[in-house]
Structure formats: C-alpha cells, structure tokens
Structure 1
Amino acid sequence: MDNLLLQMIKDLTPNMPAQFVGSDGKSIAKFEKIDTYTFRIIFPEPKPLFIYDIPAQGWYIDNTQGSLSYYAPKHYLMQFHPKYTPIDKLEKMAKDAGFNKWYELFKFKDDWLQNPDLPITAPWKVVSKSPNEPVFVMERNPYYFVVDPEGNQLPYIDRIVHYLVSDAEMINMKAVAGEIDCQDRHMRVSNYSLFMENAQKGNYRVLKWASAVGADPAIYLNQNVKDPVKRQLFQDVRFRQALSLAINRDEINKILYMGLGTPMQAAIPKGAAYYDPYWEKAYAQYDPGRAKILLDAMGLKVGKDGFRLGPDGKPIELIVSFTTYPGNANMSIMELIKSYWEKIGIKTIIKQIDRSLYVTNCNSGDIEIGIWVMDRCSNFILSPGRILGTITDGPWAPLYARWYWTKGKEGEEPTGDIRKLYELWDQVNQTTDTVKRDALIRQIVALHRKNIWIIGTVGALPSLCIVKNNFRNVPEYLISDAPLFTPLNAFPEQFFIK
C-alpha cells in the first residue's frame, strides 16, 4: 500500500474504532473477503467480547452516537473517495459543498441522518431534515430486506415525522394532550399520575417497560477529588457507607416516584445479568444512627454548629454538582439528600450547573460529587462504562478511568481494589470460556458491593411508553436500555396504525 493511500486512510479514520483494536490494546483486526456477500474479521489474539459490539439489529447505524457501521454502500460512496476519484476533483467538490477537506465531505455523505441520498438497508430513510427546522421526516425504504411471516415487506408504517421541542416537559405535555403516536424517551415517571388521569381523554395507553437502571439518581463521589482532605474522606469506605446509610430511600420513592421504584443501592437491578441481591441491599437501609457511628469511628468530631470537622480540623463541606438529564427530578431529590446528610452532621451544598459545563468538569476531574443516572445495566458486558467509571458523567473515578483507557498515558494510576477492577476487566476481555468469564465478572460485582463507589437512591423504575390506542404491535413488556437501542429492540418496523 503506497504512502498516499495510507495517509488517506488515516485522514478518514485517524483513530481506529475500539471494536477493531485487539484485546492487547495494540493489534488491529484484519478483514478478509470471502465472497460478494461475506467477509471475515480476524484478530491476532482472542477477542471474545467483539460479538457484543455488533448491534443485534443490523440495520441500526448512528454516526451521531459513535456507533459503528460495518458496511457502507461502495457503489455510491466511491465517488467521494480518493481511491476512485482524483483528489483534486474531490477537494473542489468538498469546497463547493462548504467543507475544507475531502474526508469531511465523505463523512457527511456517509451519514444517513444528514444525507437523504445515501442508500441504506434500514426500514426508513430520512427524506427531509434541516438544522433550522424543528422537524425531520422519514419515509419507508422500499429496499428494506425483511418480510413478515406472511411475506409482506416491512416496515408497515410509511411515514414518520419527528418534532424537536425545547425541553422534555413539552414532550410530556404533548403526550398528555394525545398529540404523539408513540414515545418512550423522556416520558417522566414523576408524571405517571398525570399520564394515567388523561389516558382516556388523550386516547392513549401507558406501557410500563422495565428500565435497566440501578439508580436514579446515583451519587458519584470522585475518588480523584483534588482537595486532599476530601480525597482522604472519599477514599475511606466508612465515609461512603455512612452517606449511604443516611439516605431515606423509601421516602424518596414514595414522594417523588409514587412507590413505582425499588429503594436500593446503586447496583444491577433484579432481572438483569449479574444481579446480586446482596449488592442491591448493601448499606441501603435507612440507619442514620449507624451512619453516625461510622463517622465517629473515623474521628470526625462534631463542631459547635452541629457539623462535623474533617481530619484537618476544619468543617467538612460537600459540594454536590448536578445538571438536568431526561426524566430526572434531581433538584427535589438533592434537597432531600442534603437534609439527610446534614442530619448526621455533614454540611452539604448543592449546585445545579449547565450540562455542558458539568460534562467538561467531569472529564477534567473537577466535580467533587456528581449526580447522574446509573443506567446501562441490562448486561454491562454491552456497556461497562458505569462499572469501570469510563463514562465520566458519573464521575466516581474519572482520572483513574482515563489512565486505564489511555494505557497509562494520562490520568492517575490506580491502586488497590480499583486497580484490581481494571485487571479483572482485562481478563474478561481475553477469556473465551464463558463460565470463567462469568466468574471474573462476579468478582467485579463483589468489588463494587464491598466498596460502594457509587451510592444509589431508587432503582428499577419503570420506563414509560405512551402509545395511542390505534398504534399497535408495541410490546407490553420490554427491557429498556441504551445498549439495547430501545425502542429498536421493540422492532418498530412491525408497528402499525390500525
């Protein structure tokens, strides 16, 4: 392969997708063509979790979310690639289209959300979308290759219109008014009574899918917090246990979730792979007396104002940062948690900040205590980021996680149980024996159960889906989770309007 072509490949894909990097972190997969319709992906060493990187529903491609497409329409895209079109011509085409480089044009043309002309194998294709318009339209793809049991080509629905609104509450109000045919995303559990009261008037039904959520919200104490006194506190398991025991989860569940959830530790919920009943209950009882005993054992004395002093003799002041994410009731919950923690003598300040700033501060390790949902729990092999701390909107170990995913080039090197956690996950990635792999994963679960790195509130909440009564074939029961691409796992190509 000549140097020019190598450079073109690097321009188009400067960073090799993790799916194609070997379990050793260095080797790259090779592709072997078998015939016109078949290819083989070969790794030099075993990579048993690779199969989990392939979406179960092969038509799903979402470049905006970083999901990986294993194929692209060569007959169409070759006109935008320098292997088939002169580079000078391509650069002119790119500039004429408003791009600086040919690979920017290529990526645009290969994005089905942005380019309606891209041939795709999905059930629907975008036919109208503008960044300046609050709507985009998808129409039935006549080339979709799947049929129903009677031989009818899917999908059944000819046209789908998506509306972009300013906030999640507006979506909820549209659902209540009967203006939405089917919607699960952003349907707030806190609005359950409102949905039920208006179901007959709005001519819809309310489905309660099972969410793979271990805590909503979860409380993430940053093990890399920059304040040395707080780091000493946060890294002491007794402190985390005390904060957990001080939380009245039953009260949160009744007041904010109408009893629909399960008061529990931030853990894998019942029914999901690797569920551990002992983790679910670990330090999840409401026991402020025991919490005080743990703080006393740490030597955290109570000052004149009723608040505890840190090991430096100064008042402890926890700063909890949170932002809004779809469906949450963080402000109300955080006011309750603030009251619980201050009853055991831990002064607490809650700060609501802009989401983009929150994420930036999480990535840099500047969030002391972060608040986010603990989701992606249906099977954390599919998405281990919550357990490993590599999804930093839940910043329990942001700098340790960075050390892990950069192979030690950045971040902070972990020790103790967090180092063991990463070593176990490396073994999971290389173990082909499923029994041995499950045993390794159970060890990871045990480390979380022991350390309570993430503190939970209420989990196993239903994921609500509002469906018009004439909108059919929507399953009554479904596991809702991001790695499952819900509602894709409901097979919407089989939905129909009666």
Structure 2
Amino acid sequence: MTSCFPLRRSIAAALAVLWCFAVPASAEEPTDIADAVKSGALPPLAERLPEKPRVVDMAALGKTEGQYGGTMRLIMADAKDIRMMTIYGYSRLVVFDKDLNLAPDILESFDVEEGRIFTLHLRRGHKWSDGAPFTAEDFRYFWEDVALNEELSRGGPDQQMLVDGKPPVFEVIDELTVRYTWDKPNPLFLPSLAGASPNYIQLPAHYMKQFHKRYADPDKLAAVVAEHRSRDWIALHTVKARQYRPENPDLPTLEPWWNTTAPPAERFVFKRNPYFHRVDASGRQLPYVGTVAMTMSSNDLIAAKAGSAESDLQARYLRFDNYTFLKEAEKTRPIRVKLWNDGTGSKVAFLPNLNTNDPVWREIFRKVEFRRALSLGIDRGEINQQFFYGLAHEGANSVLQSSPLYSEKADQAWATFDQDQANALLDEIGLKRNDKGIRMLPDGRPAELIIEFAGDTQETDIVELVREHWGALGLKVYARPFQLDTMRRRFLAGDTLISVWNGLSVGEATPDLPPEEMAPVSGVQGNWPKWGEHTDSGGKAGEPVDLPAAKELLDLYKQWRVSATTEQRREIWEKMLDIFTDQVFTIGTVNGVKQPVVINDKLQNVPEEGVYSFAPTAYFGLYMPDTFWYKE
C-alpha cells in the first residue's frame, strides 16, 4: 500500500511537504493483537490502516523507533480523571505540532479560504476502533442531528461554532470531504479542534443512531431507555456520546487506546485501538504500548506511590515540593525524575469575584485600586523562597517569558511588594481602619474576605501566607476549602468573594491561540462568572458586562474572533494583555515553577524536558504517548 500526501505545517503557510510512504506487506503486527489477526478476528494491518496513514518521523522528533509490549501504569485520584486518557492520547482532527503550529492529524489535510471557509479532507479507509468506516456521515450526524437538534442541544451549537452569533453553512462535499463556511473569519475553529478538551464536530453515527429517536425503532429505544434507567432518550444519548470523558466502553473512538472498563471502578483498563491511524517510518502501527492501566488512589498517596515505582508516567498530583523525596527514591527505585516547565501564567492566582452577590463587596472589587492594593500587598519573594527555593519567576498572571507575546510591562504590572502603596490605595477608596487596625466597609462591617480554594497542601500553605500579607493591610482574611464542583457552583451563584485557581492556561500563547481567558466569555471564570455566562449563553443567562474595562476586553475578544491575519491577532493580544494585567482582573503570584515528572526507567521516548500545561500542550499529549515504548 503506497500513499503520497501533503501535511500542512501551519494555517498561514500554504507550503506542503510531500510524504510518500509504503506499508510493507510484511509489516510487524502489534504483539498484543497478533493472535486476533492470525485467527481472523481482526483484519491484517494493511486493511486496518487508512490508505494514507499519518507517518510519525521519530528522528525529526528526537525519538527512536520502538518495540511493542508492556502496560503503562498511571495513578489518578478521581474517577473523572478518566478524561486524562483523552488529553494524553491527543488524537485530534487537527493538532498543535512541537512548534505550536496547526497540522492535520486525523484529517489527511485541510484548506482555509479567507479565514472563513474550512474544507476538511478525511483519510480514505480510516476506521473507528470497532472497524466501521469514518466518513462525512459522522460529521453530518453530529451537526444536523445533535448540534442543531433543539432537544439534544438546547442552547444551540457551541460558541466556537458561531461567529457574531451565526452558525456556519455545513456541506457534505463527498464521502470524505466536509466544508464549514462562515460569513466572517473564524480563527477559533481550528485551534478549538486541536484543544486538550477539543471541539468535537463528529460522532460515530453508526453507533449513536440506535439512541436517537429520528433513527431508532420507538419501542426498542423506549426499552433501552428503561434498561439504562435514563430519564429519556435525550439523557441516554448524551451519556452514550461522551467522547472527552470516555466512560462508555462501547463508544467507538479514534484515540490510540479505548476504555474497556465501565464505571464505577477503581482500575480502568485501556486497550489498543487496532484501527489507529498513525504509523512509524517502518510501517509499524502505533501505539507501541498496547495497554494503559489507570488506577485510582488517594491524592495524598500518589507522590509516595510514584516514588515506589507504582506508576510508569506520573506528573498529575505531583508538586514541586515532592521533588526532593522523588529524587531520593530515584536512587533505589527503577524510576527517573525530570523537571518540566509549568506552562501556566501563574502557579497560584487569586480571583476577586466581580459578580459576587454582596453589593458592598461587589462595588469594592470593581474598584481597580482595591485589586491593585491586593496585588501589591503580596510578598511574592517570600512565596518563591518558601515554596520554590527561589527558582520561580515572580510576576503578574500573564504569558510566560517563552511566549512570543511576552511583555515585561504586563509581566510586572502591580506585582512588586509595596505595602505602603497598597495601604495608600485602600485609604484612597475609603476603607478606613478602626481603633483595632481593621479596615471597615462603607456599610460599617469589618472588611472580612473569605478565600475559597480546592487545591493541594502546597496551595493551602500559599493561601495561608497570603492571608498574613493581606492581614497586614488591615483586612480580616479567612480561608475555606471546598470540593472543586462545589466551588464552581458557589462562584457562579455569586456566593464566592475570592477563589484560587491556576493562572492563564496558555502561558506560552501565540497570537493564533484564543485570548478567551482574558475576557468574560464563560461561566467557569471565577473572576466574572455571571458576565461570562451571559456571553456564553448569548444573553439568555447571567448578567451583561457593565464595567468599562471588562467590556473593552470582551469587545477586543470579539474582534479577535473575526480577525483574518496573525498580525491582527497579535495586536489584539497585546492590547488585551495590557488591559488585563493593568486592571488586575486576576492576581498572579509566581510562574515558571518546575513540575516533577516520574518515568519508569524502561519507558523510552519521553522527553527529558517539556512544558506541562493543559493548553496548548495537553500535558503529555503534545509529546505523543503513542510513541512511548518499553526497552525490555
């Protein structure tokens, strides 16, 4: 089987590199499915692969071609972490490459015209994990029968599929080609497909139609709904269709591994997708590792278990202060411990809720002087020395120095430790001290701030230190831990004053990545959740933005959403960074923190250095765990 095809290296550049590839007739079968192929339960490799598979050039990635075998063990603390397999697997229609350019992955190629017409070309012969063809029908089914179905998608298509509130015109060109056309450019479309939590625009139609009232026999569908104890067919379809959190073992996938374990479970086993579309240059189908086992454990025990070599690839739930213990364990256990760069704009960030229900605090939080005072009142040097051995970078919640958008002005905006200036700002807005030194609110109450967080021990300790810093300004500060889901519900309801999160997830942002975290666009943003909900719902929920600086950020983001060139997007990013940091809509502490990564000694092709962040690297995803292999 021979194939020659172009791989588009970026959106802006239409240059193509011609790859010609032939799968040898005697290509090695993965050892874990060789018997199934021999017995006829699975077709041979040449019949499982697309005609034009994606060829992974290991040498170009600084990797070596590997061998089959082994089970990769992971440890997680929550059954919801099953989604990490989707993030780590990082099989997407379009992906970010190692230079953060967009390139086809599941797609054979894509064409972009005027920034608004996107034609997607599928690989001939590509199949879902159950062997069914992957075709344009899977896109049509999702768009027409799910996204535009008022029962399944009551809010309509997702925001990344709308430009100025309008959806695209969707066309099936042929069995392997679909097209999305907007009236204006949609620079968010391709990055959304490449996200760690991707914008899914396809579903396995052959499987999902049995749960859809348009296609299923009514009596059979009613029986299945009753069997699964679902509320109705809508609830059943929703649960069965989850791709990001792969809890349904029967749902066909395009990821390198598919889940074989139905929840609830303490151990999830993921098996090789025998129809996965990637191969190495020798024609061997990826992944090299046939099985991934994800075991649930207590968060507090994961560092100890990683140090005892009970995990083969662990970074999640490990902190920088675990590093000394892990390096000591490296001496006696078959592990190696590396330090990757944390890719967030701030390891710990404080988010004043500008939409809080308390009218007095809401008015105070909306005064930029108060937010600047809080930022100036934090001794970042003490945080750095006490928790990160002075190795972190002290600054605002902004992009990192490694980002092409880095600005020293934004990086250091109101991020120096200056209690005198902080006190002067608090005096200026009328928060006077009583005879006990406590500042008083305009309604006569003591200025009592409650910080809500859902983090680990280290985060708790940082919060305690910041409590002391702000206490020195005359504020009474309390810390209250919550479960993450509870915390999100509280700030969206307006019950939260200040919450604690990581900073910008795209610390290494490029102009072509969406600046959505700096504008009120989502209800999950703790600093302005009701404004974000209003934007996300198209005005159907939440509250309209009524603070000029926040409105300006939203307007700039809307300009980015219809921008046609990278230079336009760069200009918008720079303006937004300047406003966002000068207005201190979130309060950063330190960034550039090192992330411990524990690797089994036998596991090969894991980079010595990397960027560990959700976006855009998908944690390990950018480094392609399907290329990892065991030496013995």
TM-score normalised over the length of structure 2? 0.71
Q: 1:435-493, CA deviations, whole angstroms, 9 ceiling, x for partnerless residues? A: 12221221111111221111111122123221011111011222222233222111011
Deviation of the 1:389 alpha carbon:
4.2
- Secondary structure of the 1:12 match is coil
- Equivalent position of 1:49 in the other structure: 188
Distance in structure 2 (CA, Å) of the matches to 1:264 and 1:334 = 17
Deviates more, 1:300-309 or 1:190-199: 300-309
Distance in structure 1 (CA, Å) of the matches to 2:200 and 2:430 = 55
- Equivalent position of 2:24 in the other structure: none
* Aligned residue identity for 2:509: N
Deviation of the 1:20 alpha carbon:
5.9
Deviation of the 1:314 alpha carbon:
4.4
Structure 2 vs 1, CA of residues 256 and 14 (structure 1 numbering), >3 Å: closer, same or farther? same
Does the CA-based 8 Å contact 2:146-2:153 persist in structure 1? Answer: no
Q: 1:379-419, CA deviations, whole angstroms, 9 ceiling, x for partnerless residues? A: 38656453224455552122222233233343333231111
Q: 1:355-398, CA deviations, whole angstroms, 9 ceiling, x for partnerless residues? A: 33311111112211111111412338656453224455552122
The answer to whether structure 1 residue 267 and structure 2 residue 407 are counterparts is no
- Secondary structure of the 1:427 match is helix
Distance in structure 1 (CA, Å) of the matches to 2:146 and 2:517 = 36
Deviation of the 1:298 alpha carbon:
3.2
2:451 to 320, 343, 359: 320
Aligned-residue Cα RMSD (Å) equals: 2.6
- Equivalent position of 1:415 in the other structure: 547
Structure 2 vs 1, CA of residues 181 and 301 (structure 1 numbering), >3 Å: closer, same or farther? same
The answer to whether structure 1 residue 349 and structure 2 residue 478 are counterparts is yes
* Aligned residue identity for 1:322: F
Deviation of the 1:122 alpha carbon:
2.0
Q: 1:248-284, CA deviations, whole angstroms, 9 ceiling, x for partnerless residues? A: 1111111122333212112222213522211111121
1:379 to 505, 509, 514: 509
Map of 1:33-432 to 2, 5 A cutoff? 33-55=172-194, 67-111=198-242, 113-127=246-260, 129-166=261-298, 168-324=299-455, 327=456, 329-377=458-506, 378-379=508-509, 382=513, 384-390=515-521, 392=523, 394-413=525-544, 414-432=546-564
Structure 2 vs 1, CA of residues 21 and 153 (structure 1 numbering), >3 Å: closer, same or farther? closer
Does the CA-based 8 Å contact 1:376-1:383 persist in structure 2? Answer: no
2:619 to 476, 486, 497: 486
Q: 1:127-149, CA deviations, whole angstroms, 9 ceiling, x for partnerless residues? A: 2x132320011111221121112
2:583 to 451, 472, 475: 451
Does the CA-based 8 Å contact 2:397-2:504 persist in structure 1? Answer: no
Distance in structure 2 (CA, Å) of the matches to 1:301 and 1:318 = 15
* Aligned residue identity for 2:583: N
Does the CA-based 8 Å contact 1:264-1:281 persist in structure 2? Answer: yes
Does the CA-based 8 Å contact 2:171-2:180 persist in structure 1? Answer: yes
Does the CA-based 8 Å contact 1:370-1:393 persist in structure 2? Answer: no
Q: 1:5-49, CA deviations, whole angstroms, 9 ceiling, x for partnerless residues? A: 899933333333325632111x22232122222211222332222
Structure 2 vs 1, CA of residues 119 and 233 (structure 1 numbering), >3 Å: closer, same or farther? closer
- Secondary structure of the 1:48 match is coil
Distance in structure 2 (CA, Å) of the matches to 1:203 and 1:286 = 44
- Secondary structure of the 1:10 match is coil
Does the CA-based 8 Å contact 1:362-1:392 persist in structure 2? Answer: no
- Equivalent position of 2:81 in the other structure: none
Structure 2 vs 1, CA of residues 223 and 188 (structure 1 numbering), >3 Å: closer, same or farther? same
Unaligned runs of 5+ in 2: 1-143
- Equivalent position of 1:465 in the other structure: 597
* Aligned residue identity for 2:152: L
- Secondary structure of the 1:11 match is coil
Deviates more, 1:138-147 or 1:480-489: 480-489
TM-score normalised over the length of structure 1? 0.89
- Equivalent position of 1:12 in the other structure: 152
- Equivalent position of 1:32 in the other structure: 171
Distance in structure 1 (CA, Å) of the matches to 2:457 and 2:610 = 21
Distance in structure 2 (CA, Å) of the matches to 1:396 and 1:143 = 44
Deviation of the 1:292 alpha carbon:
2.1
1:433 to 536, 548, 565: 565
Q: 1:223-255, CA deviations, whole angstroms, 9 ceiling, x for partnerless residues? A: 223333323322222222222112111111111
- Secondary structure of the 1:255 match is helix
- Equivalent position of 2:34 in the other structure: none
Distance in structure 1 (CA, Å) of the matches to 2:355 and 2:191 = 31
Structure 2 vs 1, CA of residues 185 and 17 (structure 1 numbering), >3 Å: closer, same or farther? farther
Deviates more, 1:262-271 or 1:408-417: 408-417
Distance in structure 1 (CA, Å) of the matches to 2:191 and 2:396 = 27
Q: 1:304-346, CA deviations, whole angstroms, 9 ceiling, x for partnerless residues? A: 112223344543222222222xx56232112211111122222
- Secondary structure of the 1:160 match is strand
Structure 2 vs 1, CA of residues 7 and 470 (structure 1 numbering), >3 Å: closer, same or farther? closer
Distance in structure 2 (CA, Å) of the matches to 1:398 and 1:74 = 35
- Equivalent position of 2:629 in the other structure: 496
How many positions carry a matched residue from both structures?
482
Deviates more, 1:272-281 or 1:305-314: 305-314
Distance in structure 2 (CA, Å) of the matches to 1:77 and 1:235 = 47
Deviates more, 1:394-403 or 1:453-462: 394-403
Distance in structure 1 (CA, Å) of the matches to 2:364 and 2:467 = 18
Structure 2 vs 1, CA of residues 96 and 388 (structure 1 numbering), >3 Å: closer, same or farther? same
Q: 1:156-189, CA deviations, whole angstroms, 9 ceiling, x for partnerless residues? A: 00111110113x2222111011111111212112
Structure 2 vs 1, CA of residues 314 and 119 (structure 1 numbering), >3 Å: closer, same or farther? closer
- Secondary structure of the 1:152 match is coil
Distance in structure 1 (CA, Å) of the matches to 2:514 and 2:148 = 31
Deviation of the 1:81 alpha carbon:
3.8
Deviation of the 1:201 alpha carbon:
1.6
Does the CA-based 8 Å contact 2:146-2:152 persist in structure 1? Answer: no
